[in-house]
């Protein structure tokens, strides 16, 4: 009986550790998703479009695309009318 209780306690400890790691991972994921939603709002593009870029993991390509999009918008005068600033 005592051996079973020790085994149950050990197993419960392992499960608590696993649950803690999963919760920590979910909190980190929520923070990433929130940051990406804010980024999408800042550059004025739909999150679904940017999600495709983020899925490739090529953030430098996304940054270059953002700069080109802003430059094109500024050339047409659209960016200034929409409250945009200068190109970084």
Q: Are residues 66 and 50 in the same domain?
A: no
Total structural domains in the chain? 2
Q: Are residues 51 and 8 in the same domain?
A: yes
pLDDT band at 87 (very low <50, low <70, confident <90, very high): very low
CA–CA separation, 40 and 20 (whole Å): 30
Q: Are residues 34 and 50 in the same domain?
A: yes
- Cβ proximity of 52 and 62 under 8 Å: no
**51 Cβ contact list (under 8 Å, min separation 6):** 36
Structure tokens at 85: 């600033």
- Cβ proximity of 85 and 78 under 8 Å: no
Q: Are residues 53 and 78 in the same domain?
A: no
Q: Which domain holds residue 72?
A: 59-88
Q: Are residues 11 and 38 in the same domain?
A: yes
- State the pTM of this model: 0.47
Q: Are residues 70 and 49 in the same domain?
A: no
Tens of pLDDT, residue by residue over 10-60, are 989 988 989 998 999 899 988 988 888 888 888 888 888 777 776 666 567
């Amino acid at each position: 009986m005592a051996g079973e209780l020790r085994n149950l306690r050990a197993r419960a400890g392992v499960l608590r550790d696993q649950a803690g790691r999963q919760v920590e991972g979910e909190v980190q994921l929520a923070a990433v998703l929130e940051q990406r939603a804010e980024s999408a709002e800042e550059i004025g593009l739909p999150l679904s479009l940017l999600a495709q870029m983020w899925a490739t993991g090529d953030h430098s390509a996304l940054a270059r695309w953002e700069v080109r999009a802003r430059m094109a918008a500024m050339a047409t005068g659209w960016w200034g009318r929409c409250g945009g600033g200068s190109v970084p």
